[in-house]
Amino acid sequence: MKKKKKSKKNRKGEFSNTRLYDLLLVIFRENSKMKLNYKQVGKILKVKEMGVKIQIIDVMKDMVLSGVLEETQRDAFRLKEKTSKIITTIKNTNQRGVYANIDDENEVFIPKEYSQFALAGDEVEVLLFTKINKKQEGEVVSVIKRKKTEFVGVIDNSSSNYFLITDDRRVSFDVFIPPKSVRKEYLNKKVLVKVEGWNENYKNPIGKVVEIIGKVDDHNTEINSILYDYGFAPKFPKEVEKSANSIAKKISVEEIKNRLDLRKTTTFTIDPKDAKDFDDALSVKKLTNGNWEIGVHIADVSHYVKKGGIIDKEAVERATSVYLVDRVIPMLPEILSNNICSLKPNVDRLAYSVLFEMDEKANLVDYKIAKTVIHSDVRFTYQTAQDVIDNKKGELSVELLLLDKLSKVLRIKRKKKGSINFESTEVKFILDKDNNPIDVYFKESLSTNHLIEEFMLLANKTVAKHIGFPKKVAKSFVYRVHDLPDTDRISTLNNIVKKFGHSINNENSNKLSESLNDLLKKVKGKKEQQMVETLTIRSMAKAVYSTNNIGHYGLAFDYYSHFTSPIRRYPDLIVHRLLEDYINGATSVGKENLEKVCKHCSEMEKVASTAERDSIKYMQVKFLKNKIGDSFEGVVSGVTEWGLYVEIIENKCEGLVKVSSIKDDHYIYDEKKYALIGYRTKVSYQLGQKVKIKIQRADLERKQMDFILV
């Protein structure tokens, strides 16, 4: 394996001054304590021509004038620039190098050869150099913590050496695999490689194969590759499965005695048709005073998954279930997620319940939080429950019609208080027996979806307020928080919507939410709908988990948490544990460690979402690969300097129209207008605009569709 070269020589002939400037900067930074003259520099660059040596002197004198070098004695120079060190996180990467934040407004570029193989998410120590032409550059001094150490790809054996070519195109290096460790069965397969050596003196990190994922181009291999690439193992470790299988399935008589017994109260679940992990159930009971007791019952996972145990450690590492196109990778082993904890019908189950006393107008009179034992009488799907509501008859029609009425009132009240109403279309693939996509359909949001949503929101809000109010003496807790929208993006959105006769009132947060809801309502069915909805969503902050309760702007809640899905979200499991401890009089837990877990869960939620999107992209390419040459109507869903992303209207599949493929003009990216604009013709392609495209290429390996405009 070759050592990394510290300097490069231009073999094409003469050096340009710009090229020399960059090379000299590298040389002086690598020899920052030394004084160097033109002869020594020429020797490092292996320059013999006198003309180039004179050119070196001229460039060094220019560097003195710009304050980078100082001339300590005649024709002897040394580095003058001041440097400072910061600890930061790598933001993103490309083939030239990496970018990291200095602060909220400034970033530093680090050339690839000085990045120490750092990738997005890595915590690094960076040496900052003096800005040159307003450009801040630096060097990674050390990588404090690597976010990713395992990579998925195929081993290239075209030469005498072996290198892993990674699936992730954002990784700018290949991983060297020592020949002695390479077995025959590793070749022509997708493999998982763990990097064990990151020596910066070499061109490549050194790794070893830890798993054979499967045959290249096989469906299961590709889906599992996505999971491994994002750090989600498709299977649980044997010791975790063993521990889960040893859990007693029968509820003891003693445990029932210690709980509120609600097994005789009418209880039911409403879930998707293909659901197996039933997190939540609802119950309805008429009270003697004429009010209703509405129970929201959540699977009591904390009873079975003990803090610090082997199952808990695996769960916190995963932090979430992952929902791919054709499978679910649960946070907990299936014996727990689909059986012991799942609120299945016709069996007794342990729950953590919030019991609401409500009147006919959905006014909350009182509530109670209790550990319970329940017995679900019926398992509804969203559609079967909807049929009962629509027909006003059928199993548990009284209960369902009441909940439907109450939930609609709750929804109206929430919107009046400023909750922003986003309605997205979910695309589902119809798969054949081999999991190949044969068609797509748009998932319809039913009234029963909103019914469940409203009561889950109410439970989450109630639990958060129960612990968080009053704020001055509140104990440490996990909140689901959502910050105010980005003011610059709202301003840009306002400038764009004005052209369509709309406006946004950004006077205060309440006026803004009211204004955004009004805007989203007004653009329904209009040509600007897609653009306005996309830009509104982009202006929003990302909801995260935090111990610092700033409220949830999007829902217009002062207090909000996640309590209702402990089978599939780790923060909900923490909330269950804290709630029980605090109700039983425990003192507040340490905020610092809790905040670390919150950040980890927020990050893993984002990673899982990206993995889910990758599986959708893979299926989209698979679905369209037999339609190359076909034309479709589409909508511009994204605009960048390298091209237009277009979403096909009839199937929601997305592809890229490269700017280089638009031949009628030279197109320039206008960031503020979210548009590519022709330099000569002034023809523009803007976010939300309808276009016609033809499918040019379907790349399964890169999960990318290439379109051309027609």
Share of the chain above pLDDT 90, in %: 72
- Residues 654, 698: one domain? yes
Residue 499 domain-assigned (yes or no): yes
Query: In the prediction, which pLDDT does 9 show?
Result: 42
| C-alpha dihedral (452, 453, 455, 460), degrees to nearest 10 | 140
Q: Extract the tokens encoding 107.
A: 């970033």
Residue 456 domain-assigned (yes or no): no
Nearest by Cα to 646 from 581, 707, 700? 707
Residue 43 domain-assigned (yes or no): yes
Q: Are 494 and 594 in contact (CB under 8 A)?
A: no
- Give the pLDDT band (50/70/90) at residue 519: very high
Q: Summarize the confidence of residues 35-49 as an average pLDDT.
A: 88
* Cα distance between residue 382 and residue 403, in whole Å: 13
Residue 10 has pLDDT above 50, yes or no: no
Q: What is the CATH number of the domain that holds 63?
A: 1.10.10
Residue 232 domain-assigned (yes or no): no
Q: Which residues contact 179 (CB under 8 A, 6 or more apart)?
A: 160, 161, 162
- Residues 251, 298: one domain? yes
Of 185, 216, 247, the position where a domain reaches its end is 216
Q: Extract the tokens encoding 572.
A: 């909900």
Q: Are 303 and 249 in contact (CB under 8 A)?
A: no
Q: What angle do CA 205, 208, 209 make, to 5 degrees?
A: 130
* Cα distance between residue 139 and residue 103, in whole Å: 17
Q: What is the CATH number of the domain that holds 194?
A: 2.40.50.700
Bridging pattern class, strands 322-323 and 479-481: unpaired
Lowest-confidence pick of 46-50, 77-81, 189-193 = 77-81
578-607: per-residue pLDDT in tens?
999 999 999 999 999 999 999 999 999 999
Query: In the prediction, which pLDDT does 81 show?
Result: 67
Query: In the prediction, which pLDDT does 4 show?
Result: 43
- Residues 278, 303: one domain? yes
Q: What angle do CA 336, 342, 348 make, to 5 degrees?
A: 110
- Give the pLDDT band (50/70/90) at residue 557: very high
Which helix (H) or strand (E) is 268 found in, with range? strand 267-271
Residue 33 has pLDDT above 80, yes or no: no
- Give the pLDDT band (50/70/90) at residue 6: very low
How far, in Å, are 175, 265, 565 from residue 473 at the CA level?
52, 36, 27
Q: Which residues on neighbouring strands pair with residue 211, listed in sequence order?
A: 192
- Give the pLDDT band (50/70/90) at residue 12: very low
Nearest by Cα to 560 from 485, 483, 478, 486? 478
- Residues 475, 610: one domain? yes
How high does pLDDT run on average in the chain?
A: 92
- Residues 137, 155: one domain? no
Query: In the prediction, which pLDDT does 82 show?
Result: 67
- At position 514, the amino acid (one-letter code) is E
- Residues 115, 53: one domain? no
Query: In the prediction, which pLDDT does 79 show?
Result: 84
Tell me the backbone φ, ψ of residue 646, rounded to 5 degrees.
Answer: -125, 130
Q: What angle do CA 529, 533, 538 make, to 5 degrees?
A: 150
DSSP secondary structure, 453-511, as one string: HHHHHHHHHHHHHHHHSSGGGPPP--EEEBPPPPHHHHHHHHHHHHTTT-----SSHHH
- Give the pLDDT band (50/70/90) at residue 207: very high
Tell me the backbone φ, ψ of residue 628, rounded to 5 degrees.
Answer: -60, 130
* Cα distance between residue 503 and residue 118, in whole Å: 44
Query: In the prediction, which pLDDT does 442 show?
Result: 87
Query: In the prediction, which pLDDT does 72 show?
Result: 84
- Residues 418, 493: one domain? no
DSSP secondary structure, 631-699, as one string: EEEEEEEEEETTEEEEEETTT--EEEEEGGG-TTS-EEEETTTTEEEETTT--EEETT-EEEEEEEEEE
Lowest-confidence pick of 158-162, 223-227, 473-477, 628-632 = 158-162
* Cα distance between residue 282 and residue 266, in whole Å: 8
- Give the pLDDT band (50/70/90) at residue 95: confident
Lowest-confidence pick of 196-205, 356-365, 407-416, 547-556 = 196-205
- Residues 488, 562: one domain? yes
305-341: per-residue pLDDT in tens?
999 999 999 999 999 999 999 999 999 999 999 999 9
Q: Is 628 left (phi over 0), alpha (psi -120 to 50) or beta?
A: beta
Residue 5 has pLDDT above 60, yes or no: no
Q: Extract the tokens encoding 594.
A: 């809790």
- Residues 258, 272: one domain? yes
- Does this model's pTM top 0.95? My answer is no
Question: Which is it for the CA torsion 496, 499, 503, 507, positive or negative?
Answer: positive
282-300: per-residue pLDDT in tens?
999 999 999 999 999 999 9
Residue 7 has pLDDT above 70, yes or no: no
Of 79, 104, 126, the position where a domain reaches its end is 79
- Give the pLDDT band (50/70/90) at residue 75: confident
Nearest by Cα to 485 from 458, 454, 506? 506
Residue 35 domain-assigned (yes or no): yes
- Domain residue limits at 108: 84-145
Q: Are 357 and 367 in contact (CB under 8 A)?
A: yes
Residue 30 has pLDDT above 80, yes or no: no
Maximum CA extent, the chain: 103
* Cα distance between residue 709 and residue 636, in whole Å: 11
Q: Please identify which residue in the block is written with the tokens 């017994």.
A: 261
444-500: per-residue pLDDT in tens?
889 999 999 999 999 999 999 999 997 778 899 999 999 999 988 899 899 889 988
- Residues 524, 640: one domain? no
- Give the pLDDT band (50/70/90) at residue 132: low
Which of 534 and 696 is assigned the larger pLDDT? 696
Q: What is the CATH number of the domain that holds 135?
A: 2.40.50.140
Q: Which residues contact 141 (CB under 8 A, 6 or more apart)?
A: 85, 124, 125, 126, 127
Of 416, 449, 482, the position where a domain reaches its end is 449
Nearest by Cα to 209 from 173, 179, 180, 181? 181
Lowest-confidence pick of 100-114, 247-261, 482-496, 651-665 = 100-114
Residue 123 domain-assigned (yes or no): yes
Q: Are 548 and 481 in contact (CB under 8 A)?
A: yes
- Residues 477, 582: one domain? yes
Local structure of 247: helix, strand or coil: coil
Residue 203 domain-assigned (yes or no): yes
Which of 596 and 172 is assigned the larger pLDDT? 596
Instruction: Provide the number of structural domains found in the chain.
Output: 6
* Cα distance between residue 543 and residue 552, in whole Å: 8
- Residues 429, 481: one domain? no
Share of the chain above pLDDT 70, in %: 97
595-642: per-residue pLDDT in tens?
999 999 999 999 999 999 999 999 999 999 999 999 999 999 999 999
Q: Residue 345 carries which DSSP code?
A: B
Query: In the prediction, which pLDDT does 14 show?
Result: 60
Buried-exposed string 41-55: b where 16+ CB fall within 10 A, e elsewhere: bbebbebeeeebeeb
Q: Residue 133 carries which DSSP code?
A: T
362-415: per-residue pLDDT in tens?
999 999 999 999 999 999 999 999 999 999 999 999 999 999 999 999 999 999
In the chain, the N- to C-terminal Cα span, in Å, equals 49
Lowest-confidence pick of 134-143, 236-245, 690-699 = 134-143
Nearest by Cα to 584 from 464, 459, 467, 462? 467
Ranges assigned E (strand) in 82-177: 84-93, 97-101, 107-111, 123-128, 138-145, 150-156, 162-166, 175-177
Q: Residue 255 carries which DSSP code?
A: H
Roughly what angle, to the nearest 10 degrees, separates helices 397-416 and 382-391?
100
Residue 229 domain-assigned (yes or no): no
- Give the pLDDT band (50/70/90) at residue 133: low
